[in-house]
Amino acid sequence: DWFRSEEGRHTLSTVLTWQSPQGSWPKNKNTTTKPYTDKREKLEGTFDNKATTGELRLLAHAFKVTADPTYRDAFLKGYDHILQAQYPNGGWPQHYPPGKGYARHITFNDGSMVRLLDLLRSSQDYDFLDTGRKRKATGAFDRGIACIVKCQVIIDGKPTVWCAQHDEVTFAPAKARAYELPSLSGGESAGIIRFLMTLDKPSPEVIRSVKAGFAWFESSKITGIRFERSNGGRIIPDPSAKPLWARFYDLETGKPFFCDRDGIKKATLDEIGEERRSGYAWYGTWGESVLREYGKWEHR
């Protein structure tokens, strides 16, 4: 078995070197190949960009196979960190402690909060988790779902979708980096709706939320164009192209917008510089899976 092999043990011991004193892991680092050798206090863990949840799932599986308590203890440290990091209103910041920048916002960006909730749900099957932790995780999960519903942006009395991050006090759409303004997100919202559709016994609030989100994706699709990110970030007319959704839709007009590092909203992609034009996912087929999976969800 790989987890007991020399390669497996080496990989897992490497992963352990990257765990921060708080219990999380840094993003954009390959935590499985090269051990971290600097001071541990310098490690900045996060929930962003798939960090922490991936390592925790690996450690849980490793403990299940090997029964090595080192893996269990590291898992529990990270798991407790996630439970501690949740706001009383059910949201999670991008990392914990959150600090004063945009990382303090409730973070849906790149699927961050959805991945945390998914881990809490699947961890109910972990035999080594005590009932106290499982109970805490259930409460955290339920608060998280309620927070998602509260964050859904209501425009003219109608629920739409979500921003990539929301104010941690008011739940309003919030700004992140200079070019990530408050908006309706065609990217993150797809992941949120797909996650809500996996809930076993959705509440009436969740059902309403999914239906409204589906209606928004149906009405916001963009047809007849192709986005070529690698080619300088160009839009090519193409009647046969799959439907696309913009990353950002204006909260007032409902129309797509684009933004450079100066933070000024533009109506077309051509109006921003090439660095941002080709350096960001301005369009995607995100809504395709929402539209495809909704029919099955509605009839189950």
What mean pLDDT do residues 127-139 have?
Answer: 98
**Is 56 within a domain?**
yes
User: Residue 1: inside a domain, yes or no?
Assistant: yes
| 120 in the same domain as 232 | no
Q: Among residues 151, 172, 201, which one ends one of the domains? A: 151
Does one domain contain both 137 and 191?
no
Say if residue 228 is in the same domain as residue 292.
Answer: yes
Is there a domain that residue 3 lies in? yes
Give mean pLDDT, residues 20-49. 98
What does the pLDDT read at residue 183?
99
pTM above 0.85, yes or no: yes
Query: Within a domain: residue 165?
Result: no
| Active-site residue (options: 4, 177, 261, 292) | 177
Residues 210 and 131 grouped into a single domain = no
80 and 217 inside one domain: no
pLDDT band, very low/low/confident/very high, at 269 (cuts 50, 70, 90): very high
pLDDT on residue 230: 87
**% of the chain exceeding 70 in pLDDT:** 100
Q: Could you list the residue range(s) of the whole structural domain that residue 189 is in?
A: 185-300
Q: Are residues 137 and 205 in the same domain?
A: no
Question: Domain tally for the chain?
Answer: 2
Catalytic residue check, 234? no
Together in a domain, 207 and 122: no
pLDDT of residue 231: 81
pLDDT per position as a tens digit, 204-217: 999 999 999 999 99
Residues 209 and 143 in one domain: no
Same domain membership, residue 104 and residue 220: no
Mean pLDDT of 18-39: 98
The answer as to whether 170 is a domain residue is no
Active site residue 177: yes
- The answer to whether residue 123 is domain-embedded is yes
Length of the chain: 300
pLDDT band at 75 (very low <50, low <70, confident <90, very high): very high
Q: Which of 49, 143, 226, 234 is catalytic?
A: 49
| Same domain (yes/no): 197, 138 | no
Co-location of 27 and 112 in the same domain: yes
